[in-house]
Amino acid sequence: MAAVLLFSMYAANAETSATLRVGQPAPDFSLADQNGKTHTLADFGGKWLALYFYVKDDTPGCTEQACKFRDDIHQLTALGAQVVGVSVDDSANHANFARKYSLPFPLLADSTGETAARYHSLRGDGSPGNLAKRNTFLIDPEGRIAKIYLSASTSRNSAEVIEDLKKLKGS
């Protein structure tokens, strides 16, 4: 019985992670950042967007990933890309995290997990206390998913996005 339950949970997670595909429109969102400003997918129209979901503010892996994006921000913007982080932490936590590490990009507060769920990047069943998965979506200027990084590497995610942007743009 336990094996059947574990298999069903695995199958459900495998199915949801495969639901979003390269080339399809990215799911919309409307979330407040660390400064209380609301951002939607349309705000980034005409630009490349590295939308990365992360587990929790100020934890070792999430800090490494955020700081890599911070350190690479000039290369990313030179390639026409913007970076946005999303977790289920609230705006106040995001503000502290962004200030502590001088993060120059929006951190969106998805406290209900609704956006993470739309991107198939929510761990668990959507009940309170769930965390985001570490997934990144490179979204093209037309709002379509250009690349998906499941279980993104905290140390390599930013560099992978830069490499892929260069390839996709033919640079």
Q: Where are the beta strands (DSSP E) in the chain?
A: 30-32, 38-40, 48-53, 81-87, 107-109, 136-139, 145-149
DSSP per-residue codes, 16-62: HHTTS-TTSBPPP-EEE-TTS-EEEGGGGTTSEEEEEE-S-TTSHHH
62 is catalytic: yes
CB 38 within 8 A of CB 31: yes
Which residues have CB under 8 Å from 131's CB, separation 6+? 55, 56, 87, 88, 122, 123, 124
Tokens of 116: 């993470």
CB 142 within 8 A of CB 24: no
From the candidates 50, 62, 79, 139, which is the catalytic residue? 62
CB 152 within 8 A of CB 60: no
- As annotated, the active-site residues are 62
